[in-house]
Amino acid sequence: MLGNTFGRIFQVTTCGESYGWHATAEKAGYGGGLLAIVNGVPVGIRLDVQMIQNELDKRRPGQSKIDSPRLEKDRVEIVSGWFEGVTSGGPLGMIIRNVDTQDIHIQQYREVKDVIRPGHAEVNFFHRYGEYGDWCGAGRASGRETVTRVAAGAVAKQILATRGIEILSHVIESHGIKGRSVSEGTMTFEELKENYRKNELNCCDLETARTMLDDLLKVAEAGDTAGGAIELVVRGVPAGVGEPVFDKLKATIAHAICSIAAMTGLEFGQGAKAARMLGSEWNDQPYVENGSVRWRTNHSGGFLGGMTTGEDILFKVYVKATPTISKPQDTVNMISMKEDKLAAITRRDITLLPRWYPVAEAMTAIAVLDGLFLTEAWYGMNDKLDPKWRAMTQPRNTGKYEK
59: left (phi over 0), alpha (psi -120 to 50) or beta: alpha
Q: What are phi and psi of 51, to 5 degrees?
A: -65, -40
Question: Is 337 domain-assigned?
Answer: yes
Q: What is the pLDDT of residue 243?
A: 92
List all residues 6 or more positions away from 203 whose beta carbon is below 8 Å from its beta carbon: 170, 171, 172, 174, 179, 209, 212
Question: Is 153 domain-assigned?
Answer: yes
Q: What is the pLDDT of residue 18?
A: 79
Q: What is the pLDDT of residue 98?
A: 86
Question: Is 127 domain-assigned?
Answer: yes
The total of other beta-carbon atoms located within 10 Å of residue 364's CB is 26
Question: Is 207 domain-assigned?
Answer: yes
Question: Is 399 domain-assigned?
Answer: no
Evaluate whether 7 touches 153 at the Cβ level (below 8 Å).
Answer: no
What residues pair up with 140 in beta bridges, in sequence order? none
3-state secondary structure of 195: helix
Q: Which helix (H) or strand (E) holds 287?
A: strand 286-289
Q: What are phi and psi of 221, to 5 degrees?
A: -60, -30
Nearest CA to 364 out of 263, 270, 252 is that of 252
Q: How many domains does the chain divide into?
A: 1
Nearest CA to 248 out of 293, 199, 308 is that of 308
Q: Which domain holds residue 369?
A: 5-391
State the helix-helix crossing angle for 249-258 and 353-380, rounded to 10 degrees.
Answer: 150
List all residues 6 or more positions away from 323 whose beta carbon is below 8 Å from its beta carbon: 117, 118, 119, 120, 225
Q: Model pTM?
A: 0.91
Question: Is 396 domain-assigned?
Answer: no
* Rounded Cα distance, 133 and 191, in Å: 46
List all residues 6 or more positions away from 136 whose beta carbon is below 8 Å from its beta carbon: 17, 18, 19, 20, 23, 106, 109, 110, 113
Q: What are phi and psi of 131, to 5 degrees?
A: -70, -10
Pair type for strands 313-319 and 82-83: unpaired
Q: What is the pLDDT of residue 113?
A: 83
The total of other beta-carbon atoms located within 10 Å of residue 74's CB is 22
DSSP code at position 79? E
Question: Is 398 domain-assigned?
Answer: no
* Rounded Cα distance, 85 and 87, in Å: 7
DSSP code at position 220? H
Evaluate whether 31 touches 101 at the Cβ level (below 8 Å).
Answer: yes
User: Digits of tens for pLDDT over the chain (403 positions)?
Assistant: 889 999 999 999 999 887 776 545 455 545 688 999 999 999 999 999 999 999 999 988 767 777 776 777 889 999 999 999 899 999 999 999 888 777 777 787 788 888 888 888 888 888 888 888 888 777 788 888 999 999 999 999 999 999 999 999 999 999 999 999 999 999 999 999 999 999 999 999 999 999 999 999 999 999 999 999 999 999 999 999 999 999 999 999 999 999 999 999 999 999 999 999 999 999 999 998 887 888 999 999 999 999 999 999 999 999 999 988 888 889 999 889 999 988 766 667 899 999 999 999 999 999 999 999 999 888 777 776 666 555 545 555 555 555 5
Nearest CA to 67 out of 388, 351, 394 is that of 351
Pair type for strands 11-16 and 5-6: antiparallel
DSSP code at position 351? B
Evaluate whether 352 touches 319 at the Cβ level (below 8 Å).
Answer: yes
CATH code, domain carrying 156: 3.60.150.10
Q: What is the pLDDT of residue 133?
A: 81
Q: What is the pLDDT of residue 388?
A: 57
List all residues 6 or more positions away from 35 whose beta carbon is below 8 Å from its beta carbon: 14, 15, 16, 93, 94, 95, 96, 148
* Rounded Cα distance, 374 and 75, in Å: 32
3-state secondary structure of 154: helix
* Rounded Cα distance, 172 and 17, in Å: 30
Question: Is 327 domain-assigned?
Answer: yes
What residues pair up with 230 in beta bridges, in sequence order? 171, 317
